[in-house]
Amino acid sequence: MLAPTPYFTDCGCHVRIYEEARALIRCGHNVRIVTYHPGRDMPGVSTWRIPNIPWNKKQSIGPSWHKPYLDILMYNRALELARTFRPHLIHAHLHEGAWIGGRLKKRLGIPLIFDYHSSMTGEMTEYGFIREGSLLHRFFLRLERLINHGSVDFIITSFAPVAHDLMDRWGVAENRVEPLLDGVDTALFRPRLRNEVRTKLRLSLDIPLVVYLGMLNRTQGIDTLLSTIVQLKSKGSPIRFLIMGFPEDEYRNKAIDLGIDRMIIFTGKIDYTKTPIYLSAGDLAVSPKCSLTESNSKLLNYMACGLSTVVFDTPVNRELLGDAGVYASYDDSGDLATKLAWLMENKDERDRLSRLVRERSELQHSWDIRGKALDEIYRSKLRR
């Protein structure tokens, strides 16, 4: 399994990599993850890293000019491992992984599965790494097309609209792509007793609390969330926010500048295994993410913990939450504020949605279900 990213750093992309590997191991597969040097090893899955690059300490996800030489080192590391491990299949995450995997496939003569998280060029544009319409933008569009149509045997996507985009926009054949949504460990992520958790975390038992979990950056909608909180404050709302994620210093300072710092508790990075406890402190959850090219796996963690959730109305949010979500108009901070206040005031509706999302996570989104589906994809490729 190729993971060209500083794995593991408690973010959605890395959770998909880790939980897929664990689900496959439960299905009887022997998995090795090859990744960059930064990050930490997770229990139960063997991880191989490239050599330490002293000047590259970046642990956040997203585009970087360091990636080309890191990916060459990853190719060499994976080839070294393959000589003794002798894999039957390569599972490549992200476009960089598919590029590395294509080179390995030619050397090893084994199938290559591409785990397509989002459009590489779309992500670069959303992060402000390249400008749409620029020479670099056109170069990466061409490169992305070559990877999508390259030597991969099959593509899995993190949500259905991306699979359709691959077919409609990029011209990938329908029989070469299939959605495999993100999942959730429903044994780890489960509701805890709210008051017990708040006492443990030294949080007041009576404040109305909204929780957020994930990276703190513009693409996750954190700037929009702060604008929403400003609007709630102007209406005298008593709602408080527990914001879990990193890097938090910039947003902590922005909250002070906006005069809303007393409405927010920033926790910084939370260990993946401890997040269910923090989530259970909330009355409801929010995700202000507006991306149309990426999945939104934090919703599954919210759902498994029985949290009614307010999100923007996007295809991926609809696909995960279905009729168990509360939807604000796309990228509208005012409507997001309105929906949060409404849901906080309606306990009966929160309780109803809480039961629905937990049930939906168990019946439709567990990693055991996803693992069996991925196992079948693997076996179909190996039978060819």
pLDDT confidence of residue 60: 62
Nearest to 27 by CA among 377, 368, 381: 368
Determine the pLDDT at residue 303.
98
For 128, the token pair is: 């402000």
Task: Render pLDDT for 307-349 as a digit per residue (tens, 0 to 9).
Answer: 999 999 998 899 999 999 999 999 999 999 999 999 999 999 9
Quick count: other Cβ atoms within 10 Å of Cβ 128?
11
Ranking 159-163, 171-175, 246-250, 366-370 by mean pLDDT, the lowest is: 159-163
With a cut of 90, say whether residue 158 has pLDDT above it: no
Task: Give me the mean pLDDT over the 275-299 stretch.
Answer: 91
Is 384's pLDDT higher than 60?
Answer: no
pLDDT of residue 59: 61
In the prediction, which pLDDT does 119 show?
A: 83
How far apart CA 251 and CA 259 sit, in angstroms, is 12
Taking the CA of residue 18 as centre, how many other CA atoms within 13 Å lie in the half-sphere pointing to its CB?
Answer: 21
pLDDT in tens, 25-82: 999 999 999 999 989 999 999 999 999 887 776 666 667 878 899 999 999 999 999 9
Q: What is the pLDDT of residue 151?
A: 86
Question: Bridge-partner residues for 47, per DSSP?
Answer: 33
Q: What is the pLDDT of residue 380?
A: 87
Mean pLDDT for the stretch of residues 273-278: 94
pLDDT at residue 7 above 70? yes
Query: What's the rounded mean pLDDT across residues 128-139?
Result: 88
- pLDDT for position 104: 96
d(CA 3, CA 228): 35
Looking at residue 229, what is its pLDDT? 98
Predicted pLDDT at 200? 86
88-92, 121-125, 201-205: segment of lowest average pLDDT: 121-125
* Burial class of residue 101 (count of CB atoms within 10 Å of its CB; 0-12, 13-18, 19+): buried
Percent of all residues in the chain with a pLDDT value above 70, rounded to a whole number:
97
Residue 143 has pLDDT above 60, yes or no: yes
Instruction: Please report the beta strands in the chain, taking only residues with DSSP state E, as ranges in sequence order.
Output: 2-3, 32-35, 46-49, 90-93, 112-116, 154-157, 177-179, 209-213, 240-244, 264-268, 284-287, 309-312, 326-328
If one compares 12 and 228, the residue with the highest pLDDT of the two is 228
Characterize 245-277 residue by residue with b for buried, 16 or more Cβ atoms within 10 angstroms of its Cβ, and e for exposed.
bbebeebeeebeeeebeebbbbbebbebeebbb
pLDDT at 232: 98
Question: What pLDDT shows up at residue 295?
Answer: 83
- As a whole number of angstroms, the distance between CA 381 and CA 24 comes to 15
Determine the pLDDT at residue 162.
86
284-287/309-312 β-pairing = parallel
Whole-model pTM: value is 0.85
Instruction: Report the pLDDT value the prediction gives residue 61, as an integer from 0 to 100.
Output: 64
Place of tokens 């975390």: 201
* Token pair in block for residue 120: 């590489």
Give the model confidence (pLDDT) of 105-124 as tens digits: 999 999 999 999 888 887 88
User: What mean pLDDT is reported for the chain?
Assistant: 93
Per-residue pLDDT, averaged over 228-242, amounts to 97
- For 160-180, write each residue's pLDDT tens digit: 888 988 999 899 999 999 999
